[in-house]
Every structure is written in structure tokens, then in C-alpha cells.
Amino acid sequence: MNRLARHYRAALLRFPDKQQLILFDIDGTIVDSRESVRALLQAYDRTHATAYFTGLTANAVTVTEDHLQPLLADVGVPAALHSAIQEWCSAHRWSAEAALASHRPYTGVLEVIRWFQLQPRTSVGLNTARDETLRETTLRSLNAIGREFKVRFSSELLHMNPGGWEEEIQRSKAAAIDSFGDRGYHVFAMIDNEPENLRAVAREHPEETLLLLHVDTIFRTRRTRLPPEAVSGTGYRLADIVRTRRDLPRHITFVWHGVNGPATLRQFLASGIAWGEVDIRSGPGGEIVCDRESDGAGTLVFQDALAAVRGAGRFLRIELRDGGRLADRCIDALHAAGCRDKDLWFHCDPEVTGAGAIGDLGEAFPGALIQVPGEAVARACGEGGDACEAVAAARELGARRLSFSYMTPNLGATLDFLDRCGMTADIRRETELDDFLRSVLLMPASVASDFRFPPGWDFSGKEE
């Protein structure tokens, strides 16, 4: 992935007037071939009223569909049936049912595809050995698994094998480069799991501007058939491509969450992040303290944090952790500090603060951004409930943004629904780099994190 990132950036500079295209194979590259083998063998069981493969898991599969004998022996299938099972599977491996069953992507691949699809002057295409008759089925199954990641594939960027089942696969793979080139694309990289396919492409297209990547999953042809210029890797990780904040969408607001103590406040102020989130509650002496825990005394007084942040030209997102008079005291403190509406952002859970407190904040600062939890909308989207009613209820509270965890089920579809409703979304407290990057790819309005990422990942510098 590091090599791919470097090669892609070089291609953008070298061909500034070209639409860049990266090509992915499907089976064994995007889709986990082990799942395909498992589904095919269990389909054999259903068709023949047997139960040889009922407990078969994807992790137990180490062979491709056309070389099943070692696996059949491992699971105890009588040797007399091996040839018949192999023949049946070979005949059905490219059926529509098998294609639809191939629904498990390799970890990280859809995130990588999504990132490339978001880049300017860049497209993602598919270069598959599947027969042309499976075009509609292929797009339907791939777009189903891509939906949660907002990944969508188009027929225009899908090159299928015109030669028919298992015919001239290598020639078809190489011809795809010419086909897309004739349509104005510069193919800068191709990813495939079969060494022989990459060798064929290298033979027809030896130019150094085309990077050939071998994904080391399971494959039929020998590894020794890899062309010497191909780069091999074992998986997909977006963090190996996205190395700095310059690689992230510019419109997303980043929020440093948990600015609840002097040390975290210093870290936030030394960063390039414009917004910090504090959790406020009533302290034991009646003062407002920054603390998530109800039993904590708090080591940072809210007014001190407010003064430090404003003095540095930064802004606070304020999460109210108590009900009672906390909202009134917060309003007084913000008025005393001379805060402007447009510099204020509140997160309130009506079950904690009460709806009245949210209304008081909106009345005191009508131009401030108020967000509330959005789980009710996500549940409605996932369970067929009235999501519009849930959004209307949030708006009635005065909210203009809904907040979610990245782990919220059906999150991608929920954010798509909110886009159509004109409601913005926030994804909160993503502390792991991989989860943070996945959150960003969903294109919410804001993402909160503590930005304590591994060495080598740069999130420094002022926001533009």
C-alpha cells in the first residue's frame, strides 16, 4: 500500500490532464475467495442432500475452486466422490447464485476503494475474468457489499471477459488496459491475486507508469509466474495510503475530544485542530468543571479552559453531562466571556439534560450549533421505522446535527438518509487510527478523536 500511494501521487503529477484509473480484480482480490469456495461446497450439499460441508468455515479453505481435492480429503469426503464433486463445482463456480454468495470482502479493501473514489481526477475500475453474462449480477452483489462504505461500482468501469468461461483470461486482463486507455483513462495501477494475469499484463504493457500489485491471498497459478516488477502484499490498510491530514477531505471538521484536564488542553492547543470538546458538569463547590465522570472532582475549571481556548483562537464543543441548573450556569459563563453564537457548539443528550435545557441554550445562542445523539434515526433506518419522524423530533429540540459512534449499525445508509434530509452528522470518539479513517470516508460533517495516532502518521499543522 505504501508503494501504491507513492506511485499514485507521482501519476497525478506526471499526468495532470488525465483521469487516473486503478483497476481491481474481483475474485480473490476484492471478494474473499475462501467464502466463494465455502458457499459453492455448501450449495453442493443442498443440491445432493449431503452434509459434508455443513460446518466448513472460510478459515479452513486454502484452495481454489478448481483444485478442491486436498480440502475434500481434509473434511473426510470419500475419495470416490472427489472427482464428481470437483466436476460439479467447476460447472457451477460462475453461476449467478455463486456470484451472489461471494459477498465477503477482504478486510480493508472497500476502505481503500472508497478513498480512491473520493479523490479528484481518479476513478476505480474492475478487471475480472467473469463472463459478460454475469455483468448485472456482479454489479448487484458488489454494490450490496459496498453500500455500508458508500462504495459504488458502475457498468462503465467494469471490464469482463468477452471470451467466455475460463477462456483467454490473461488476454482479457491485458486488453482491459488498452480498452480504458482508448477511453481517455490513464491506468496507473492494477491489483490482481493471480500471478499469471499480472505476467500477461506486464508482457503487453511494460511501461513503468503502470504499477502491478499482487495481493497474496489464494491463487491458482504459481507464485513464480509473478513478473519481477510486480509488488506483492498481504492485505489492505488505508493508513498506509493516507499518511497526513492533507490526504483527508477538506470539508470535514475535526474535533479533539476529551479536553478535560490541563495536559490534554495543552496537547489540543499545540495541535492544528480548531475545535476541542469538553465535558462539563457541576463540581462539588457549585463551579463548572470539565470531567466525564460524575464522581470526579475535575482538574480543569470550565472558565479556565474557555479562556485558554479563546485566547489561542480556538473553539469549544461543549457536552453537558448534568441536568439541573448546569445549562443556566454554562450560559452565564459564556455570556461573561463574550462568546459569539457562531463560535459555539453544544452536544446534549435530552435524557441527561432534559429538553428544556437544550431549548434554553438555543434561545440564548440562536446561531450556535446544537447536536444530539442520532441512534433513534439509525434504528429507524435499519428496522424500517419512521426515520423522518426521528429526524423531525431532533429538529424540534433545536438540533442541526446528529451524533453517532462509528460502531452504530447501518451507519453508511443512515448518513445517506440524513444527506437527503438536509441534516448533518457527527461521528464521535474514534481513538484508533483505522476507525478514524473509516469514519472520515463516510463523509460526515465532523469527526471527533483524541488524535493519539501511531508514530509516522502526521496530523500536525493548521487547518486550512
Q: Where are the domains of the chain?
A: 2-31+105-240, 33-101, 245-449
Residue 38, CA distances (Å) to 46, 64, 101, 308 in order: 12, 10, 9, 59
Other CB atoms within 10 Å distance of the CB of residue 117: 18
At 322, list the grid cell: 448534568
pLDDT in tens, 43-61: 899 999 999 999 888 888 8
Question: Are 247 and 436 contacting, i.e. CB atoms less than 8 angstroms apart?
Answer: no
d(CA 319, CA 429): 13
Query: Which residues make beta-bridge pairs with 456?
Result: none
Burial tier of 368 (Cβ tally within 10 Å: 0-12, 13-18, 19+): buried
Placement of cell 462509528 in the chain = 406
CATH fold for the domain made of 245-449? TIM Barrel (3.20.20)
Give SS3 for 286: coil
d(CA 268, CA 105): 37
pLDDT in tens, 125-174: 999 988 888 899 889 989 998 988 999 999 999 999 987 656 688 999 99
Q: What is the pLDDT of residue 461?
A: 42
The length of the chain is 464
Cα 406 from chain centroid (whole Å) = 10
Mean pLDDT of the chain: 89
User: What pTM does this model have?
Assistant: 0.81
Segments in the chain below pLDDT 50: 461-464
Burial tier of 327 (Cβ tally within 10 Å: 0-12, 13-18, 19+): buried
Categorise residue 28: left if φ over 0, alpha if ψ from -120 to 50, beta otherwise.
left
pLDDT in tens, 93-111: 766 666 666 678 988 999 9
Single-letter amino acid code for the residue at 312 = A
d(CA 94, CA 330): 64
Q: Which of 228, 225, 211 is nearest to 169 (CA)?
A: 225
Placement of cell 509488488 in the chain = 231
d(CA 267, CA 273): 10
Q: What is the CATH number of domain 2-31+105-240?
A: 3.40.50.1000
H/E run at residue 98: helix 96-101
Q: What is the pLDDT of residue 462?
A: 42
Q: Rounded to 5, what percent of the chain is helix, strand, coil?
A: 45, 20, 35
Query: Which residues make beta-bridge pairs with 191?
Result: 24, 213
